[in-house]
Structure 1
């Protein structure tokens, strides 16, 4: 076949005064997830005063519907703390249903065993018998039994909550048809049923006297059925074996998560079927009193009408969203609502034809802007683990820093991934001195309330990142177990050698075999000496380790500034052979804690990740195995540099703000303005300085310099449930 020839010229016009350019960016969103990235408007709401204040106003303005998914709901809670001028949330919802004809759907997680409610009661007043019973338990019981915690509501709130739930129960649309005998058994054996026979009588009549239902409020609860729990247990066991978990950890995790998986999502959707009005929330906050707080995180509580009324200050973040992204928040709500009630809301809303018609409603706010965003879920019943995929993909994109503010910090895949990223950078030629390291800034909790169920997993996480000294009690207990196991193994070898020597020494031999037997006995005795020496070496190592731990304990308690740096060892916190990664793990305290008083911890409940001032994710998912694989969770992810930078600066400024002598806030400008690699070096050094100074101030029983303090948990207790 002849080769074709072309003798014509092709001319392409080009305007030399017009040029095109493009930027190549890393892939942050999860490809192939159940929900694609969509345009959205987003505003982050740091702490309860902002989050609940904005939500209250949007609910007040609702015209047609309010759809709520929550882990916990307290009807007596004041979203706006103005001395009681505003309505309680239960009053507001009743008002919207009765006066404005707004349809309210409230979906809460509720475990039929009621076991979790013996700890933090996520629906105070829903079961009045349990609520009243917890009031009768003496304080010493709560202090001695870690799984129990008292309800913190006032008596007035308790009465309101009981009455509200009694009325809401008339609109309870939960599907009560059990598909498995095991589920029927769980329901029959719940404390609610068991206590009914003992309470009853006049108390029950009093609580139910003249109770009428709410107009337009439907309440539903959801849980995990027996087959779903069995599937969770099977998957945890399989994962644990693949990951090399100890049998103790596998057993603990299956018990903790199989017995009490939770529906942990928190979203609100308002007027979804009216696109020009629709607004949504993806929240970290639960709708309970103790989740309300201000940026001040004051050490002393106020009243439920005037300020922070929970047991401790509370750091949390939620988000307000509008635009096409709402259709994915709606899809999640409808799927959950239909599964819990047997209704067909998904089908009804599809027929409404509003999907894809929601516009961005910027409202003129500089804090709200159009972005691309993605909704992601953990939904084990449907095999969805997209939040896990998101975190691992985003960590692999990190080139400068990762900032995590999370209730828990105990997910092994997170640590393995960030270390591998740093190692890959180093092998690729990244030099920490020339190019700077990757920084991992973590703000989490070290208290019993947060770490208590997962001390071993938390220790593993910290140990993997070179931070084992921040849990010295567990480190000591783990070392003791290791030394004991080594010694037992070698003593077993010694015992076998001694038995063999005894057997040989007591046998009769003919004279032709005596020389060989004597040589064998001599060899056994020589091996016994070697093994005895190994036992001595283990005892010596154990003794040296004990002395080292005692010295570190003395350094931690020292007020000598020269010892503090070596004791805290923050400036050399790079883990092992990856000098391209620097790790800083901190907690928070109330900045106004007075001198000579025990420092009041701030409970970090946020579920936030920011990477390289480019990517942000926020929602309900914690940094633990449970949130990534078991519980139902929902997060929103955003790829926008300006939003990421502003939120990071806001939080870093909040936690590093010191006080002048006159008590006025003192700003650390180089921390607030950190945007480049060199400024990250300054921020890291500044965080270290604040933590070190706070350590000295605590030892001297003075007030803190700022909220930021080192992570330190000295307890030897080990738990394996999370």
Structure 2
């Protein structure tokens, strides 16, 4: 159960304490774990650094390795050209190192996205559907051969295009004159290259329902994952124990059989009850059911050699142990050049290495979850992992650094802890200069509303400085995610950056206006029918008012009314080559609040490059999977939690919060340099909100133009602009 830490009293002794410093409150009061001092935090930006650090820690382990993750691929290489992680765990086990791996598994969800590559539906090695093909049989390589064919065709057409330009440019050795331009052939070759690029970018990833669930372009890994789980579950792997977990449905007899710990466990029905009681704002009942019955265990952490308190190390991660999470900070367009597995990436993600007393809390989180999944008969005859380690206290860990930090969670199973949500609200309430969100999703309107109201409160108190909100996220690209994203952007005056969603709302508005006009112009002579018409008219008026509240203004109706879905992508493209064209959106000016919403994009040639004759740039989205909040160069929160109702209320999540100025500034400076090319400080060394706001907008505007002209970007930072997602009620 959570503890209310606001009740703690700190006694100050004048002779022992020469000075004190009072700060704003940055820690969660209702959390299972208290703030702890003496913590060392090492930021790990992107997979090359994160997985590299985890690999080194696992390779150096002497006693134990504990892993919690949403997904696991035993054939993944944490370092290019290194051992597969499954091989490394196997080797460490044969050397006496005890490994425990705990991964979320839901049979229904696995049909959509296989979280455990090669485990099979029943754990016997295979895909999400079942055991797959027989043991030791060769996996198909047809996908790999098809990709190699596409790559060969790309090289051929690139060479043909180069020959075409060379023939037009100069006289050859035989004295032939330059050939005349051939625009038809040029367009044909460029169209072929664009089609090949689209196919290469659209293919790849993991097999979901065939083979072992392994990567499409690696037959060897597909076979390895299946065999790894066969050996594991047959008991042919020493000291490596693998368990899966999911949420339960409360059944009293089942709880009693599974042991004393589970009697107090909260399951799906308890979560649904909390949502019905109004814990999550603006969530309809269908959304509640989806959140409850498809809740996932989304935590990611690694703990190495916990028993050796002098050398123990932990990781709080955003990265899952799937190969698509591996990338370098360069985010190169081409997978091969980036050393990524073919068909995966580019990918932006963040993790951290932690040392010090906070490892006690990481162990408690792991041990409690591990014991919960112990076979119920075994629970009655052996001590659980938590009991075995009860003698190790926080004081056994020496101070490793100067940071004070708190482990925070969303954990519906244990007292419905929502300390990550509490920390977000608290940190956003403390903003004095800027808030930076780097998150996979940006779908929680309450946070945006809080910032808007905070800016208004500052103005009311006479403040004349703006607050700055910087966001790096992804386009929703799925209708089930659109309404919450749209509502969040609307709170910040940015809803016109989702024109496809606005087009859907506009269609609805025009339809309702037409129905209302007809009813008002054609009253029925029968009084009973007329009464029904009047009732229907009142409903339509209320629905029209709701649509107006969602930003469907007369200007939007005029601009988007009558457009088809296929017309929306054309809005942002230039109509001519002459002069500056007006932007296809209008952002609202919220008093006291300056907002910029961005995405990340890779290109080839690389950002900052110049094109050779006849060459054009190609673009790929960089998938943002990070879950970071930074406030005022003072506070940072890195977790596994997305900014949506699922992560903040119903999934299990894990994070670390720290009011540490050096750490917060490091996150801001390194990430903004990576994304925008620069990060500006004022004369006091703190974030210059205005200069960075100007810089971001300048970069995004320049990249908007370059992308429309098929020229390389200047950096990866691009403006959020979702021309794909229609408006629909969220289910995430």
Give the TM-score, by structure 2 length: 0.74
Match of 1:371 in 2: 403
- Evaluate the alpha carbon distance shift between residue 644 and residue 492 of structure 1 in structure 2; reply closer, same or farther with a 3 A threshold: same
Question: Which runs of no fewer than 5 residues in structure 1 stay unpaired?
Answer: 1-13, 172-212, 362-368, 505-523, 658-667
Q: Aligned equivalents of 1:654 and 1:711: distance in 2?
A: 17
- Evaluate the alpha carbon distance shift between residue 601 and residue 123 of structure 1 in structure 2; reply closer, same or farther with a 3 A threshold: same
Which of 583, 588, 600 pairs up with 1:588? 600
Which of 606, 624, 640 pairs up with 1:620? 640
Which of 677, 683, 700 pairs up with 1:691? 700
Match of 2:85 in 1: 89
Which of 204, 223, 237 pairs up with 2:246? 223
1:429-449: CA deviations, max 9, x gaps?
112xxx2x111100001163x
Q: Aligned equivalents of 1:317 and 1:425: distance in 2?
A: 32
Which of 413, 424, 427 pairs up with 1:394? 427
Match of 1:654 in 2: 674
Which structure carries more helix by proportion? Answer: 1
Match of 2:24 in 1: 26
Task: Tell me if structure 2 keeps the 8 A contact 1:291–1:310.
Answer: no
- Evaluate the alpha carbon distance shift between residue 303 and residue 352 of structure 1 in structure 2; reply closer, same or farther with a 3 A threshold: farther
1:537-559: CA deviations, max 9, x gaps?
99988862436989997662116
Q: Aligned equivalents of 1:703 and 1:300: distance in 2?
A: 14
Q: Aligned equivalents of 1:72 and 1:677: distance in 2?
A: 38
1:461 Cα deviation from its structure 2 partner? 1.2
1:414 Cα deviation from its structure 2 partner? 1.1
Which of 95, 98, 102 pairs up with 1:103? 98
Task: Tell me if structure 2 keeps the 8 A contact 1:440–1:583.
Answer: yes
Structure 1 residues 695-710: aligned runs within 5 Å = 695-710=704-719
Match of 1:445 in 2: 474
1:458 Cα deviation from its structure 2 partner? 1.1
Match of 2:111 in 1: 118
Match of 1:191 in 2: none
1:360 Cα deviation from its structure 2 partner? 3.2
1:591 Cα deviation from its structure 2 partner? 4.8
Match of 2:161 in 1: none
Task: Tell me if structure 2 keeps the 8 A contact 1:573–1:583.
Answer: no
- Evaluate the alpha carbon distance shift between residue 395 and residue 168 of structure 1 in structure 2; reply closer, same or farther with a 3 A threshold: same
Question: Which runs of no fewer than 5 residues in structure 2 stay unpaired?
Answer: 1-13, 134-138, 147-198, 251-266, 607-614
- Evaluate the alpha carbon distance shift between residue 642 and residue 502 of structure 1 in structure 2; reply closer, same or farther with a 3 A threshold: closer
Structure 1 residues 419-430: aligned runs within 5 Å = 419-430=452-463
1:272-297: CA deviations, max 9, x gaps?
12111111010000011111110110
Q: Does 1:312 align with 2:305?
A: no
Task: Tell me if structure 1 keeps the 8 A contact 2:31–2:418.
Answer: no
1:495 Cα deviation from its structure 2 partner? 4.7
Q: Aligned equivalents of 1:223 and 1:501: distance in 2?
A: 55
1:87-130: CA deviations, max 9, x gaps?
111111111110x20110100000033xx223332111000442
Task: Tell me if structure 1 keeps the 8 A contact 2:437–2:628.
Answer: yes
- Matched residue SS, 1:274: coil
- Evaluate the alpha carbon distance shift between residue 20 and residue 324 of structure 1 in structure 2; reply closer, same or farther with a 3 A threshold: closer
Q: Aligned equivalents of 1:298 and 1:600: distance in 2?
A: 9
Q: Aligned equivalents of 2:525 and 2:716: distance in 1?
A: 61
Structure 1 residues 117-266: aligned runs within 5 Å = 117-127=110-120, 128-130=125-127, 152-153=215-216, 154-170=218-234, 213-227=236-250, 228-239=267-278, 243=281, 249-251=284-286, 253-266=287-300
- RMSD of the alignment, in Å? 3.7
Match of 1:516 in 2: none
Match of 2:255 in 1: none
- Evaluate the alpha carbon distance shift between residue 148 and residue 104 of structure 1 in structure 2; reply closer, same or farther with a 3 A threshold: closer
Q: Aligned equivalents of 2:350 and 2:530: distance in 1?
A: 72
Task: Tell me if structure 1 keeps the 8 A contact 2:569–2:723.
Answer: no
Give the structure with higher Rg (CA).
1
1:289-341: CA deviations, max 9, x gaps?
1111101101111299x445452201011011111001111111011001111
Task: Tell me if structure 2 keeps the 8 A contact 1:72–1:123.
Answer: yes
Q: Aligned equivalents of 1:542 and 1:90: distance in 2?
A: 55
Q: How many corresponding residue pairs?
A: 595
Task: Tell me if structure 2 keeps the 8 A contact 1:645–1:675.
Answer: no
Q: Aligned equivalents of 2:459 and 2:510: distance in 1?
A: 35
1:184-228: CA deviations, max 9, x gaps?
xxxxxxxxxxxxxxxxxxxxxxxxxxxxx2101111100112342
Q: Aligned equivalents of 2:689 and 2:530: distance in 1?
A: 69
Q: Aligned equivalents of 2:584 and 2:556: distance in 1?
A: 21
Q: Aligned equivalents of 1:672 and 1:603: distance in 2?
A: 28
Which of 467, 478, 482 pairs up with 1:455? 482
Match of 1:556 in 2: 572
